[in-house]
Structure 1
Amino acid sequence: MRNRKPNTSKNRRPLPWSVSAGVGLIVAAVLAGMARRSPEFHLPLLALVVVILVGSFAISMESVAFARRRARLLEGHQDLASIKKLSWQDFEIIVSEAYRRLGYAVEEVGQGGADGGVDLVLSSKGKKTLVQCKRWNSSVGAPVVREMFGLMVHHRADAVKIVCASGFTKEARAFSEGKAIELVDGEAVVALVRSVRTQSGPTTCLCGAPMKIRQGKIGGVSFLGCTRFPDCRVTRPTD
């Protein structure tokens, strides 16, 4: 297992703003109803309602700020030189956001500390892919690739991606041949990030994340959907 620095508050994923706001409103509505039925507790309960609403709003704003920071981080690093200057935490974030924009459900398991070699778990169409991120200046060797192959077998995953800011040794590439292992080097990371970049300036969702054009299942009508779906389900018309 790798030892990691403790997670920092700026990288801690808060609840989606819609969840925080929804829970706060439901609890506040319940307490307000109790206050109407209990005159003796009317003022204390109403005061609690105000506290819950303010707290819910604060948590929602934290979620919005979190999403905006991640979007700015990805949009602001479009070349290999700037990507190599990122901390390992921010490198994982842009990789995570890039795959999220490609349509994967992404679970971040590496930001909190020792993670056993797995930083991200990607899910799509019933298949699970393990991802390890290496913000190294030196080439990634065969031992890392063998470790991830073992973890793929252990966790019964369908595939593995090893994403690095540098490159891979010949031995690493030779070991990966014929296996469900994708080696994503620095140049491929740049291509990945640029492929999901908002082309004409981001159309921003209420949560702060960029929106992209999606095709409706009924009638095939195009609309703008949040890139954080299903955490955020905000939509807008394209016109």
Structure 2
Amino acid sequence: MPRQKTSPFEELVLATSRLPWWVGIVLALVSYAVLHQIAGRPLTSATVGEMVVKGMLASLAMLGQYILPFGFGLAALISGINALRQKRLYEKAAAAADATALNQMSWGDFERLVAEHFQRAGFQVSRAGGNGPDSGIDLVVRKNSEKHLVQCKQWKAYKVGVQPVREFYGVMAANGAAGGYFVTSGVYTDEAIKFAQGLNLELIDGPQLKSLIDRVRLSPAPSVSQQETKALAPACTAPATSRPGFRQITTGPGATGSLWPT
């Protein structure tokens, strides 16, 4: 899908809305304070040229002191609404009896659910900002100074085959990611599962995602000392996944070592 053209103001709002809501509030206050001070400066200068430049800057600051804070404030509102929506989606999925609720979501809501899950699992999450349900990297998650990429597939009627998994692994390598998570509301073909074996890539299907949501929701948040201890724990034995902070788990038939953090 070709990307629609947007104005710089729209790009600013969109980019800021992917940040925590309080960041938008801080940016709004700081931008108003700085631009208001520039707009109120006297135009005294030694030369006519300098006076013209200062006059132009003052005029831009006069407009910007209202436009930028409005944009940042709007982005903060959008971010806050999205955060509330993510939490409600997460609680709804957690309260469901099985993974059927995942298939009833739109691809956008499914991506929000996955983002909320990684946040609750202790990751720093940023959305890549795709414009459709098949836009490549959906989330960038960080933990213990390592970057991981996340691909979300909300497919109701199809199994995820090896081709999209192979393509995502190539994107991981091109971006220098420490690992990756391919998350779907459905299931994977045997070929896809076999391809991911031994790689620093975890395939998470719908039932496994529901199980992980239940586990994170019911488990108390670890303390800082616990996190530090786990980060220094011995790495798992799989050669492609030997990284601090990860453990080996079995998720079902044909499953391999998991990159899911301890």
**TM-score, with structure 2 as normaliser:** 0.59
How far 1:98 sits from its partner (Å)?
A: 0.5
C-alpha distance in 1 between matches for 2:41 and 2:3: 51
SS in 2 for 1:23: helix
Identity %: 32
Q: Is the 8 A contact 1:89 1:111 kept in 2?
A: no
**Pair 1:24 & 2:28 matched:** yes
C-alpha distance in 2 between matches for 1:161 and 1:174: 15
SS in 2 for 1:91: helix
Q: Is the 8 A contact 1:4 1:114 kept in 2?
A: no
Aligned to 1:173: 193
CA RMSD, 1 decimal: 3.7
**Pair 1:89 & 2:89 matched:** no
**Pair 1:144 & 2:160 matched:** no
What are the superposed Cα offsets for residues 107-127 of structure 1, whole Å, 9 maximum, x if unpaired? 212533487522222222232
Q: Structure 2 vs 1, CA of residues 108 and 62 (structure 1 numbering), >3 Å: closer, same or farther? A: closer
C-alpha distance in 2 between matches for 1:155 and 1:54: 34
**TM-score, with structure 1 as normaliser:** 0.64
Q: Which has the higher contact order (CA 8 A, sep 6+)?
A: 1
SS in 1 for 2:203: strand
Structure 2: tracts of 5 or more residues without a match: 5-9, 43-60, 226-262
Aligned to 1:105: 124
| Counterpart AA for 1:73 | L
Q: Is the 8 A contact 1:119 1:131 kept in 2?
A: yes
**Pair 1:64 & 2:80 matched:** yes
Q: Is the 8 A contact 1:5 1:113 kept in 2?
A: no
How many pairs are equivalent?
A: 193
Please identify which structure carries the higher strand content: 1
